[in-house]
Amino acid sequence: MKNLQNNFLEARYFFSQLAMLLLFIPAATVASDKDSANNDNQPLKHIEISGISIATPAGKIADILIAQGYAQVNNTLFTKQEQLQNNRKTIFRVEIEDTAAFRQISYHRSLSGGRVKTAGDKQPIPAFENDTAQQLYQLICENISEETKKTRACEPVTTSSINAGHGQFIELDNHFSAQLSATAANTAMGIKYTY
């Protein structure tokens, strides 16, 4: 009888432990899924600059940029030019840095040749850049304190200018930094993700 009681107690202990474990697994899975969802839902990971984002697989980047008319200069640099009137050109550069410490996409557009007017020039930011610039501005400069806006050097948005951080990269949190300076004459935008 004593053996039967011991076996019963051992079985009861085993099943109570198993039940606790089974209750814990779904809770741990939900917490783990939540953490990975938070990481995957970072808006800066999905903002596209020239059709690529920080989340774009490295093997697809060259194909995406070449399809837009970029030429691959080396493993990290892609450029293209568009001829304008009066011997002027628009020069585009996309640079991708992918190291063990960080991944960064930088985009630059500038006008060259002829006379580049800047003073009093209120032409609108090109439409193909405006959406990305607006998205970056929202993440850098909106829904933050006035003090943080000053620190990040957020300038008022106009149709001809969207700027923050004096064109330099601004650290937004432990992982993300962003660069934003967009005008009709030239633009510099970038996203950096530190691992």
Over residues 140-188, the pLDDT tens digits come to 999 999 999 999 999 999 999 999 999 999 999 999 999 999 999 999 9
Q: Which two tokens stand for residue 3?
A: 């053996």
Q: Give the Cα separation of 138 and 48 in Å (integer).
A: 14
Mean pLDDT of 4-28: 50
How much is the pLDDT for 44? 94
Cβ neighbour number for residue 136 with a 10 Å cutoff: 24
Q: What are phi and psi of 72, to 5 degrees?
A: -85, 115
The residues near 68 (Cβ < 8 Å, ≥ 6 apart) are 50, 51, 80
Provide the CB-side half-sphere exposure for 94 (13 A, CA).
Answer: 22
Is 16 in a helix, a strand, or coil? helix
Q: Which amino acid is at 123?
A: Q
What sign has the CA pseudo-torsion 40, 193, 53, 162?
A: positive
Contact 192, 104 (CB under 8 A): yes
* pLDDT tier, 18 (very low <50, low <70, confident <90, very high otherwise): very low
In this prediction, residue 84 has a pLDDT band, given cuts at 50, 70 and 90, of confident
pLDDT, average across residues 26-44? 48
Q: What separation in angstroms does the CA of 148 have from each of 93, 171, 173, 175?
A: 30, 11, 12, 18
Lowest mean pLDDT among 6-15, 63-72, 136-145, 185-194: 6-15
pLDDT above 70 for 74: yes
Q: CB 153: neighbour CB atoms within 10 A?
A: 15
Q: Model confidence over 94-120: pLDDT tens digits?
A: 999 999 999 999 999 998 876 655 545
Find the mean pLDDT for residues 11-30: 48
